Structure 1
C-alpha cells in the first residue's frame, strides 16, 4: 500500500487506537460543516447549494478500500473460455494485476463531490466540444451524424484511450493549478452558479485533502489521485489532462472532430496523418510528471468498450462484441463466485440481447455474427438451440420487415433496425409519460417471483386497480393511489453481499453516538437557530 506513493499510512485501528477512525471522521465532518457554514454566512454559496452539499451525521461513513482483479489487463490475455473458468479463483497475488475500489458513497465529502463534479463536467464539455455518453449506441449515433455531415473521410482515424492510471496517481497541486487555469479561461465574471473561482478551488481542495479510508483494519490517506468512487475525480482529471499543458492539447480541440467520453474512457476522430497523431500523443505524455493515458486503439478499425468501430473508404461499419460485453458486465463483475446463472428470465434476456445487436450492428453480416455470439453464451448456460431459435423467430416477427421497401432502397435488416429505433423512441416517450404520471400518482409496488403466471398477475393487478377506482375514487387521500405488481428479479451477482464481505466493521466507519447527535448553529435568516446537522 505505502510503496505506491498514492497512500499514506496513518495508524492501525486496533487497541489502543480502536476509535481512531471515528475521531478522524468526526474531525473531517466538523471541517466540512465549518467550511460550508462559513461560505454560506459570507454569501459565497447559496442556501440551496449549502443544502445540497451538507452532511447527514446519522449516515456519514468513513471511506473504505478493497481490491479487485483488473480485467482491463487480464481480460485481453486469455480466451473467453479460459477467463470463464479461471477467474472464479482470482486473488490479489503479486503476479495478478489488481485495481483499487474506493467505497465512498456515504463519505463526508460526498455532498460536495457530486455537485462540483457535475458542474465542472458541464463546463469542460462545453469548452472542449466534448460529448458525454452513457450508452455505447450513443457513440454509433454520433458517428453516423459525423458521417452524414461529410466529416468521415477515407483516411479518417479513430483513436481511443483511457485515464485509469491518471485517476489514481495525479498530483493534487498540479490538478488544482490546471483547474484554476481552466476556470479563468472559461468562466466570465469570475463566477459560475454564484460561486467564485476561489470558492470552487477551496471546495475541491477540501475533497482532495480529506481522502481518508479504512483498509485491512488500518487507517490510510490517499495523497495522490482521486477516490475511484467519487463523482469529482473524472471531471477533475480530464481538466488536468487538457489544461496542464493547454498549448499542446489544443490540437485535439477541433469542433469538426469528435471527442466523446464515457467515465474514464475517451474516443476521438482524427483527419490528419497517423504520424502527427502519434507525435502529439507522445509529446504530450512527456510533459506530465506521471503516466496520463493508455492508448487502447488507433486506426480505421478499433474496439471501444463493447463495440467494434471502423470504416472502409469512408463507409462506416459497427458491431457489438457481445462476448467481451458479457465477460465484463456479467462474468467478471468483482471476480467473486463467478460461475452463476445470470439469466433469470431467458426470454427477456434474449430479447434485450437481440435489441442491442440490432442497434449496434451496421449491416446484416455483423448482425448474424452477433447472433452466433449470443447463441454461444446461451449454450454456456445450458440452453438449447431450439430455445434460441424460438426467441429469435419471435424477435424477427415483432421487428422484422413484413413488406418490401419499394424500390428496394433498404435491406430487410435496415428496416428491422429502423423498427428497433422507432421502438426506442416509443419507450422513451412512454417513460416520460409515466414519470409525469408518477408525479401525480402514488404507486404501491408488490413483488412476485418469476414462476407465477404472468397473465394471472396482470389480470389480478387490473382487478385491484378497478376496485380502488370503484370504491375509493372519491376518497381524497387515495384518489391518486394505484397498484403495480412487478416480478422480483435477483441480481446476477450478490453485490450487497460482496460489499458486506469487503466492508470493515461498522464501528470503524461510523461516528460515535455523541458525534451523531451533535448540533450545528445557523444564524443566517432562513434557518432555525438550532438544527441537527441534517436538519433531522
Structure 2
C-alpha cells in the first residue's frame, strides 16, 4: 500500500489493508449483509441468474428434456449444498471480526476525508491519500486533457436521459445514411440501431492514482463497462469479424505469450547465422498508445489492413469502406459523464472498449513495416507483443538508432518510443543473454519486488488465479535455458 498522507488508522487496520481479507467461504457474504432475508431466501434469489443462463443454454442447444430436468435438479442441489451450509463458529467469528475491521476503516477514512483506491499500474497495490487532492487532480485531468471534448452540462433541463436519447438518434441517422449509400444492408441497420433498446446507458469515468518517478501523485482515467452503451453492439460486432482476420494476417510477427516468445526465439537462434557472438538483442516499447493515438491514425491503419491482398475482402457482406465508416462511428461516439457533465472522447480509445486492443495492434503492425523490411534484409528474428517488441540485430547500432529516430517521427506526436540495445535484455519477464553466441534465458525478477511473491496477473478468471503457482513453475521451466 502506498501511503501519501498522515492518517489515524491503527496498526491492526493497516495490517488488514496490506494483507487483505482471508479466504471467503460460502455464505460469508450473507452473514456480513444487513439484509432482512433469511439465508434460504437469499440463496433462492441468487439462483435466479443461473437459471436464466441455463434457459439460454438449453434454448441454444437441443438437449433431451429428461437430461435437462436432471441437470437442473443436480445444479440446484449443488448450489444449495454450497451456499446453505452453515459456517463453522470459528469462521463465522472471524468473518464478523473482519466486517468490523472494514467498517472501522471506512469510518476513519470518511472522518479524515481520505481516499483508498487501487493504483493504475495493475500491481495489486493501493493508494492512501487526501480525497480533496485526488478529486482536484481528477478535475484538472479532465479540464486540461486534449483527448476529451466538453459537450453539455447535465441538469434538470438537460438530463442524462435526454443527452443519451440525442446520441442514439444521431447514431440512427448515421446508420440510415450508410444504408442509403448501400454500405450496409437493412439487416445491419436494424442490428446496430439502439433506438428501440430500453437498457442503454452512457459511460461513466473514474480515476485511479499512480506515482511518477519523483513520487508525485498522478491520475489515470478508467471507463465503466461498455455493455449496453450506444456503441456496444457495433463495436463488439466489428471486433468479432476483424480479430480473426488480423490474427491470421499478423501471426508471423506476433508473440502470443512469454512461453511462445521463448520457444520461437530458441528455435530461431538454432538456425545458421542468426545468433553470432556480436549479435545484439533489441527491445522497444510504445508508451501511452491507447490514450494518445489519434482516431485518424487508427482509421488510416485500418484502411491499409483492409485492402491488403493477404486479407479476405468479403467481410460478412460488408465492404472495406463500410467497415471503415462503421469504425469511424464507434470512435466518434464514445460519450461519457463526469461530475454532471457530458464529454466525448476525441483522441485515443478507452482500454476496456472491445475494439481498442485490436485497433492498436493494427496501428502498430502498420507502423512496424519499415522496421520489418530492414530486419528481413539482415535475416534477423523479430516479434511483437502488444506495445513491446523484440528482435536480434547483427548490423551497426548507429544505423539502428537512426532508424528508431525515423520511426519515432512516424508515430503521433504524443506517443513515445523507448528502446534498449545490448547483448543482455529483459523482455516479457524473461532475461535473454547472448553469451559468446550461445543463447541463455531465465526468469526475470524485479529487484523492487519480493522474490517469493507470484507475479500479479490482471483480468484473469478466478480459476486461473488458483493456478498461478502452477503457471509460475511451468513458465520457469520454459524460460530457463539450462532446465
Please classify the TM superposition score into its range, dividing by the shorter chain length: 0.5 to 0.7
CA contact (8 A) 1:113 1:232 kept: yes
Aligned to 2:224: 103
Number of equivalences: 333
Deviations 1:93-150 (A, max 9, x none): xx23443323343132233334434554555555555444443222111211222334
Q: What secondary structure is seen at the aligned counterpart in 2 of 1:195?
A: coil
Aligned to 1:66: 206
CA distance in 1, matches of 2:392, 2:157: 58
CA contact (8 A) 1:9 1:219 kept: yes
* 1:153-232 aligned within 5 A: 153-186=276-309, 191-232=314-355
* C-alpha deviation, 1:202, in angstroms: 0.4
Where relative contact order (Cα < 8 A, 6+ residues apart) is larger, the structure is 1
CA contact (8 A) 1:245 1:287 kept: no
CA distance in 2, matches of 1:283, 1:195: 36
Aligned to 2:442: 319
* C-alpha deviation, 1:253, in angstroms: 6.1
Aligned to 2:143: 2
Aligned to 2:270: 148
Give 1:29's match in structure 2, choosing from 168, 172, 177: 168
Q: Is 1:357 matched with 2:480?
A: no
CA contact (8 A) 2:249 2:311 kept: no
Q: 1:228 to 1:349 in 2, by over 3 A?
A: closer
Aligned to 2:153: 12
Q: What secondary structure is seen at the aligned counterpart in 2 of 1:111?
A: helix
- Structure 2 alignment gaps of length 5 or more: 1-141
Aligned to 1:468: none
* C-alpha deviation, 1:299, in angstroms: 2.2
* C-alpha deviation, 1:47, in angstroms: 8.9
* C-alpha deviation, 1:206, in angstroms: 0.5
* 1:433-472 aligned within 5 A: none
Q: 1:344 to 1:181 in 2, by over 3 A?
A: closer
- Structure 1 alignment gaps of length 5 or more: 79-94, 335-342, 364-413, 415-536
* C-alpha deviation, 1:361, in angstroms: 2.2
Deviations 1:347-372 (A, max 9, x none): x6644433332232222xxxxxxxxx
TM score, norm. by length of structure 1: 0.52
CA contact (8 A) 1:134 1:262 kept: yes
* C-alpha deviation, 1:35, in angstroms: 5.1
Q: 1:331 to 1:182 in 2, by over 3 A?
A: closer
Aligned to 2:15: none
CA distance in 1, matches of 2:177, 2:397: 52
CA distance in 1, matches of 2:437, 2:240: 36
Q: 1:111 to 1:317 in 2, by over 3 A?
A: farther
CA contact (8 A) 1:53 1:115 kept: no
CA RMSD of aligned residues (A): 4.1
CA distance in 1, matches of 2:205, 2:278: 45
Deviations 1:62-94 (A, max 9, x none): 2222232447x65xx89xxxxxxxxxxxxxxxx
Q: 1:129 to 1:58 in 2, by over 3 A?
A: same
Q: 1:253 to 1:3 in 2, by over 3 A?
A: farther
